[in-house]
Structure 1
């Protein structure tokens, strides 16, 4: 009887320890739901962490400021959507001593004016003399960073008569989608990484005056506790990096075309075992 009781207590202890270990094997990652690159990158990383590293992953959709605050306070373990050094420069300055920068998961991120490859214009300066654009630039949400920079570009490049049409991300791509098959000239405010580069052949207009700034990187940022809490996840984040805008574009376009983010991520991971092995060694 005593032996049975002892075995029962032992089994309960083993179960409790297993439950504690299972709870410990979870990481939380913040992302911004309205950013196509944030959704794609975060979901692919989550699938790799689950399938290859054996951790549960809790994804938290939050605003950019709350995302940074969450990682800085340890309420979130990581985020993969830090635009540096300019776009999130203020967040970095405020929180850099409270977080760990694991480096870029995407290089050559940038904002600017984007046109289809078929148009003759190659520089923002060309818009002054190219009448096919009808003195219109299709924008996104008023007050966003790329819109503020475009107002500045209209002044700095002396694009007299040009109007910046405020819209939304979806509205901008809808206009681009209508113009593209007709081979019409259209200039839009945009950024890379974005799924539109996977759907259409596009180019940035050169910006010799540097109004839009230099290329940025999108970095993976961890809490100060992540290295100890989940060393395998921290090691993965140091190596996790997209090779090109086309690689991440494959995932973003699948989501844009209707796939659930996790399903699109799982499909991409299954199709690219060699890339996953580079990141995880598995």
Structure 2
């Protein structure tokens, strides 16, 4: 019996050594760029690097905390320096920023391109046109906190209505289809810019910050756990416009994994350049 037990134990050890650890990636559910980026990266890590991946949908604060604690290995949804700047300040000693995956991100207030209003300050005089409200997303999001600040900074009396990413775009669609003015909290990259003619309201007081970037942030232990994944994430970066087709496909009903696989199949050279040296 003793020999059998030892044999079983050594077999278990061997099996474990052969199996690569699962990589847990946190993403923000309802953020289409986060869903698209995370799914493309996950499929590449699985197919090309051979690590199983678990995508974990979480709120932004929980995502940062998870990566800092090691409950999550990585997030590809770190909006910096402004949107998630407070989380970076809180957790920067416990996480590693591997670099930018989307260089030209932006948050702010978005309106149909056809409305005459140009700046955030212009909203007050025409607030009745906008039903006295700004259609928001989930309450804890960075763009919501910044909109609260903007309401104070520009002395606006419009009410910020929390909802969700999908509820916000549904309301945007309703108002645009009815040819009515509407103002929403939003960000680029987003599929809504591929679907409708929209514009950001100018923000002369820079409450929403300048251009943002989205970074790959990992738990420092990932280097030990899966060095090839870290090598890949250091190289993984979208060019402007590349992510839009993945987001729009998903919005039009394609499953995120299928949209990711289609993009990967069509862009073999880009994928090769990302995984070069990581395999």
The interval holding the TM-score normalised by the smaller chain is 0.7 to 0.9
Partner of 1:5: none
Partner of 1:157: 154
Larger radius of gyration: 1
Instruction: Answer whether contact 2:102 2:213 (CA < 8 A) is retained.
Output: yes
Of residues 8, 15, 19 in structure 2, which corresponds to 1:19?
15
Q: Does 1:195 align with 2:191?
A: yes
Instruction: Answer whether contact 2:30 2:165 (CA < 8 A) is retained.
Output: no
Instruction: Answer whether contact 2:31 2:165 (CA < 8 A) is retained.
Output: no
Partner of 1:88: 84
Partner of 2:3: none
Calculate the TM-score normalised by the size of structure 2.
0.83
Alpha-carbon separation, structure 1, partners of 2:94 and 2:127: 51
Change in Cα spacing, 1:135 to 1:256, as seen in structure 2 (3 Å) is same
Listed as ranges, the gaps of 5+ residues in structure 1 are 1-8
Q: Does 1:233 align with 2:224?
A: no
Partner of 2:25: 29
Alpha-carbon separation, structure 1, partners of 2:250 and 2:199: 22
Instruction: Answer whether contact 1:133 1:187 (CA < 8 A) is retained.
Output: no
Alpha-carbon RMSD = 3.0
Q: Any idea what SS the aligned residue of 2:186 has?
A: strand
Partner of 1:220: 216
Change in Cα spacing, 1:184 to 1:51, as seen in structure 2 (3 Å) is same
Alpha-carbon separation, structure 1, partners of 2:122 and 2:245: 31
Partner of 1:263: 258
Calculate the TM-score normalised by the size of structure 1.
0.82
Change in Cα spacing, 1:156 to 1:276, as seen in structure 2 (3 Å) is same
Of residues 59, 73, 76 in structure 1, which corresponds to 2:72?
76
Alpha-carbon separation, structure 2, partners of 1:155 and 1:122: 18
Alpha-carbon separation, structure 1, partners of 2:71 and 2:151: 42
Q: Does 1:51 align with 2:53?
A: no
Of residues 160, 175, 185 in structure 1, which corresponds to 2:171?
175
Aligned residues: 271
Q: Greater CA deviation, 38-47 or 256-265?
A: 256-265
Listed as ranges, the gaps of 5+ residues in structure 2 are 1-6
